[in-house]
Amino acid sequence: MKIGILSSGGDCPGINATIRGVGKTAIMHYGMEVIGIHSGFIGLLNKDIQVFDERNLSGILNLGGTILGTSREKPFRKLLASGDSEKPEIIKRNYEELGLDCLVCIGGNGTQKTANLLSQIGLNVIGVPKTIDNDIWGTDITFGFNTAVNIATESIDRLHSTASSHKRVMVVEVMGHHAGWIALYAGMAGGADVILLPELGYDIDKVNEAILNRARRGKPYSIVVVAEGIETPDKKRPSDYITRAIEAGTGIETRDTVLGYTQRGGNPSPFDRNLATRLGGHATELIANGEFGRMVCIKGGGVASIPLSEVAGKLKLVTPDHDLIVQGKRMGVTFGK
Ligand code: F6P
């Protein structure tokens, strides 16, 4: 069999470990041919590829980013620009001309949606979920998340000492447009006093009240972790709005830090390397068994898979009854309300 691998959407630590997991298993265990497709679906539109062998799959396990490059190309997005609606047809033709038996799509929500549509037009496709946001439906966890939480937690730890020295409020903005997983996990691991998630909403007066209460109890500094996706009246960076609102509402000097792309860059954690390796291996196993149109996932600690059609268009969000939220509240953490 001959398989193609591509990475699409935002990069994330662990993609290279997945490419290696798929590629080495395919070549060494199953005797398959493997090609890498550059820059996501753009590479499939242009037949921009490379051949993988055991040698060029070595030394990439611990590398951040993706050696294949990535793009946010969505071939099924209907644009008025002439020619764009032909993209799925071009991809199908190129898939056939390249002699592929299966396409492995490593990506987030948008990529899994595209993978499902490609599967519907007759391509053999396997999806591998990746995102630091951990918001892909159907899998307990995505690789990249653990690394991002480690980075964000270390930053929060560092902000603690400067916050307490200056008796300031420190607002830390972490990634997560729709889902607050990074804010919740890094916030709790970093001992944040206030954690604001897009899923829960917040009342700024309650946030200020919590910070003033801490000051009254002899704790003149506070750490506030906000996900980038929380609503704000001015639609600007949420940490900017929250910082100004806290300073105005409490009279306590307040500073903000945006962690941004540092959460996505650099080497994957050992946990994410192993997670990516397991998912990559399982993807290849599905291909060998002829089980296509599925996304590999983690369920109850083990590798599994679900139909791409069940994943497409859904998000895995934090719910208010999550035990970390329940436990945080018991210990005095404010979740904005
Ligand atoms: O990968 C998901 C994510 O990290 C989001 O949390 C973030 O908003 C987004 O990517 C930004 O990525 P880009 O600027 O590459 O579109």
Per-residue pLDDT tens over the stretch 138-190:
999 999 999 999 999 999 999 999 999 999 999 999 999 999 999 999 999 99
Which tokens is 175 given?
Answer: 């990634």
- Residue 70 C-alpha to ligand 1 middle, in angstroms? 13
Residues of the chain by 3-state class (helix, strand, coil), percent to 5? 40, 20, 40
Looking at every residue in the chain, the average pLDDT score rounds to 96
126 ligand 1 Cβ < 6 A: no
Among the ranges given (37-46, 98-107, 187-196, 231-240), the one the predictor scored with the smallest mean pLDDT? 231-240
Strand partners, 291: none
d(CA 74, CA 42) in angstroms, rounded, equals 9
Residue 324 CA to ligand 1 centre (angstroms): 24
> Which of 325, 321, 336, 297 lies closest to 129 in space, CA to CA?
297
The residue among 112, 154, 73, 84 whose CA lies nearest residue 310 is: 112
Residue 25 DSSP symbol: I
Residue 36 has pLDDT above 70, yes or no: yes
Q: Can you say whether the dihedral through the CA atoms of 174, 177, 180, 181 is positive or negative?
A: negative
Amino acid at 215: A
Averaged over 245-259, what is the pLDDT? 98
Contact between residue 66 and residue 3 where contact means Cβ atoms under 8 Å apart: no
The average pLDDT across 287-296 equals: 98
Query: 3.40.50.150, 2.70.180.20, 1.10.10.60, 3.40.50.450: which CATH number matches 2-144+268-311?
Result: 3.40.50.450
- State the pLDDT at residue 214: 97
Give pLDDT tens digits for 217-237. 999 999 999 999 999 998 889
Tell me where in the chain the CATH 3.40.50.460 domain(s) lie. 147-264
For residues 295 and 127, the answer to whether their CB atoms sit within 8 Å is: yes
- Give the per-residue pLDDT at 236: 85
What are residue 24's phi and psi, to 5 degrees? -65, -40
**Ligand 1 atom at shortest distance from the alpha carbon of 175:** 6
Annotated catalytic residue, options 11, 101, 133, 205: 133
CATH 3.40.50.460 fits 147-264, yes or no: yes
Mapped onto helix, strand or coil, the DSSP state of residue 5 is strand
The Cα–Cα gap between 55 and 239 comes to 45
Instruction: State CA 192 to chain mean position distance.
Output: 22
Rounded-to-integer distance, Cα 194 and Cα 210, Å: 8
- How far apart are the CA of 100 and the centre of ligand 1, in A? 30
Q: Where in the chain is the domain with CATH 3.40.50.450?
A: 2-144+268-311
- Regarding the beta carbon of 132 and ligand 1, being less than 6 Å apart is answered yes
CA distance linking residue 116 with residue 313, whole number of Å = 10
Is residue 145 within 8 A of residue 26, CB to CB? The reply is no
Residue 99 pLDDT > 50, yes or no?
A: yes
Decide whether any atom of ligand 1 lies within 6 Å of the 227 Cβ: no
Could you tell me if the CB of 134 is within 6 A of ligand 1? Answer: no
Q: Residue 147 in contact with residue 13, Cβ under 8 Å?
A: yes
Choice from 11, 136, 145, 175 to test ligand 1 binding pocket (greatest atom count within 8 A of CB): 175
As a whole number of angstroms, the distance between CA 27 and CA 35 comes to 11
The two tokens of residue 296 are 């590999």
pLDDT given at position 80: 45
Among 189, 198, 265, 267, which residue's Cα sits nearest to residue 223?
189
pTM of the model: 0.96
Instruction: Give the pLDDT score at 84.
Output: 55
Instruction: Take residue 116 and report the two structure tokens written for it.
Output: 């499902």
